[in-house]
Amino acid sequence: MANLHFHYGTMGCSKSAQLIINAYNQNKNGNKTEIIKPKIDNRFSENMVNSRIGISAPARIMDNLSQWMPAPDTKMVLIDEIQFFSPSDIDHLVHIADISTVIIMCYGLMIDSNECIFPASRRLIEVGAKLHRMESTCQIQGCMHLATHHLRYDSDGHVVRAGAQIAVGDSIYKSVCRKHFNMLYHDKNKQR
């Protein structure tokens, strides 16, 4: 088994739920896990990984991973919202993966709402992390295509096309297929 993994998908595809389930199963089998999430992710709580389906698990909150090392008896590290860390944090994870038998499972987004890849996600690809695409369907009513993109909306319901790459929160986002992203982002159709 590869020891550096990247589970990626759009918002709402159960990334956090799968992380929590994975940690539960590993701990049940006697394999100690550590769960980490970035400090910037405070949507639901500061010290928990929470899934929209109602399950949660305690997590260690970190600004960066540069000085962190897993405990000696840890078998698996699960990191939520990996896109909010930096490329140098990914390099540190690679170092840990290369010098130990700890399995590192990263969960997060590949691209932002402007079709730009997050730097940490790019770095995971560059360093050869094993990629696992997590799938869900478009959130436009009636569409059953694969969700591949995110649309960000302002408080008036208009698509946001510029600004900071990171805007924490999920009430202003929709996960959509490529067709609906292109229609709505490029304002070819006013459907929401």
Rg of the chain taking only CA atoms, in angstroms: 17
Measure the CA–CA gap between 82 and 62, rounded to whole angstroms.
11
Q: Is the pLDDT of residue 191 over 60?
A: no
* Within a domain: 179: no
Q: Is the pLDDT of residue 1 over 60?
A: no
* Within a domain: 94: yes
Between the alpha carbon of residue 70 and those of residues 32, 59, 60, 75, 138, the distances in Å are: 10, 13, 11, 9, 37
Q: What percent of the chain has pLDDT over 90?
A: 72
Distance linking the first and last C-alpha atoms of the chain: 42
Which is more confident, 173 or 107? 107
Give me the pLDDT at residue 190, please. 52
* Within a domain: 185: no
pLDDT of 41-85, one tens digit each? 766 667 888 888 889 999 999 999 999 999 999 999 999 999 999
pTM above 0.85, yes or no: yes
Range of the domain at 109: 4-133
Looking at the annotation, which residues are catalytic?
A: 81
Q: Is 26 helix (H, G, I), strand (E, B) or coil?
A: helix
* Within a domain: 170: no
Which is more confident, 147 or 161? 147
Lowest mean pLDDT among 4-18, 23-37, 101-115, 145-159: 145-159
Find tokens 């590290």 and name the residue: 77
| 170 closest CA partner among 42, 55, 61 | 42
Q: What is the CATH number of the domain that holds 88?
A: 3.40.50.300
